[in-house]
Amino acid sequence: MFIDRTKIRVQGGNGGNGVTAFRREKFVPRGGPSGGDGGRGGDVWIVAESSLNTLLHLRYNPEHNAGRGMHGEGSNRSGREGADAIVRVPVGTQILDALTGDLIRDLTEEGARLLVARGGRGGFGNSHFATSTNRAPRYHQEGSEGEKYELQLELKLLADVGLVGFPNAGKSTLISTISAARPKIADYPFTTLEPHLGVVDMGDYRTFVVADIPGLIAGAHEGSGLGDRFLRHIERTRLLLHLVDVSSFSGREAVADYETINQELAAYNPELALREQIVVATKIDAVDEPERIEALKLRAEADNRLFFAISAVANQGVRELLNAVAGKLDDPSLALHGLGEVVEIGS
């Protein structure tokens, strides 16, 4: 099961209490205070790991508490510090404040760590409070509580290229043709119910990652179909491949479909609609009226976008498309998108 959004509650460990104690030994009539300090509570850390690709393991395990510090002991022995708690998440996970929605941190690199809840400090034992006028203090300090937060975790897949289009536009077929990804393929709408990633090998150690998301329909930003919740997974992509079904048996108008998808992208995020985009006419092996392809080509050229016509099933035009994609990705002006403003936790 693919889970890309969940809430967790984190709490740092409470600090241990100091202790009131006195040194009592034979031949030492005035040993003085010897109460040790309490141990510091453990911290809660979130760590990004590339071995994970879903937040499923956190959906049913929302509570993450660090260990508490141990209390101090006599003979000036300090309590042991509490153990840290580690919350592992996929690379590309955003950490947000569940109450305000503010972005705390975006973990976009393997091994990135974020301290989300600090442990409480340990309390002082009575030996800390001895003075020249109070040589035998009979009080100690309690440990403080650890920080506590409720966090919203949202996963945004990291990919170079995102595939968008109506259901049955050929996105899953294309990604299964150009990579080792094997999404479900069938002749009914919404076959793809969750995002898929595929790695395309261009040879000479050149690769790029493609993200296939469930299809969009008119009104997706209002919740129609599967809605637009999966669009977050292409917000980081540098390039969009807009797939449009031009086959004669589809019963659809290619230009209208192209415009509808761009309208849905703009409704979700205006910047996403302006992202570098290559328009791809699919299923050209099932076209009886060549003017269907020509109409879409003219519309794409009017928007100053590259146009390709392919058949993923027949592997027609696919290599030319991949070469164009690789060339676009080599352009340094295509910077990574989708990183939001970061605020400090607890601010």
Q: How far apart are CA 18 and CA 24, in angstroms?
A: 18
Summarised one tens digit per residue, pLDDT across range 42-74 is 999 999 998 887 888 898 899 999 999 999 999
149 pLDDT exceeds 70? yes
User: For the whole model, what pTM was predicted?
Assistant: 0.72
Beta-bridge partners for 48: 89
Q: In the prediction, which pLDDT does 118 show?
A: 96
Pick the CATH number of 161-329 from 3.40.50.620, 3.40.50.300, 1.10.3720.10, 3.40.309.10: 3.40.50.300
Q: In the prediction, which pLDDT does 278 show?
A: 92
Q: Where in the chain is the domain with CATH 3.40.50.300?
A: 161-329
Specify the higher pLDDT residue, 227 or 176: 176
Confidence of residue 181 (pLDDT cuts 50, 70, 90): low
Summarised one tens digit per residue, pLDDT across range 65-123 is 999 999 999 989 999 999 999 999 988 899 999 999 899 999 988 899 999 999 999 99
From first CA to last CA, the distance across the chain in angstroms is 35
Q: Where in the chain is the domain with CATH 2.70.210.12?
A: 5-155
Q: With H, G, I as helix, E, B as strand and everything else as coil, classify residue 266.
A: helix
CATH topology of domain 5-155: Spo0b-associated Gtp-binding Protein; Chain: A, (2.70.210)
Contact (Cβ atoms closer than 8 angstroms) between residue 34 and residue 140 = no
Length of the chain: 347
Mean pLDDT, the chain, integer: 84
Q: In the prediction, which pLDDT does 220 show?
A: 56
DSSP 178-203: HSS------SSTT---S-EEEEEEEE
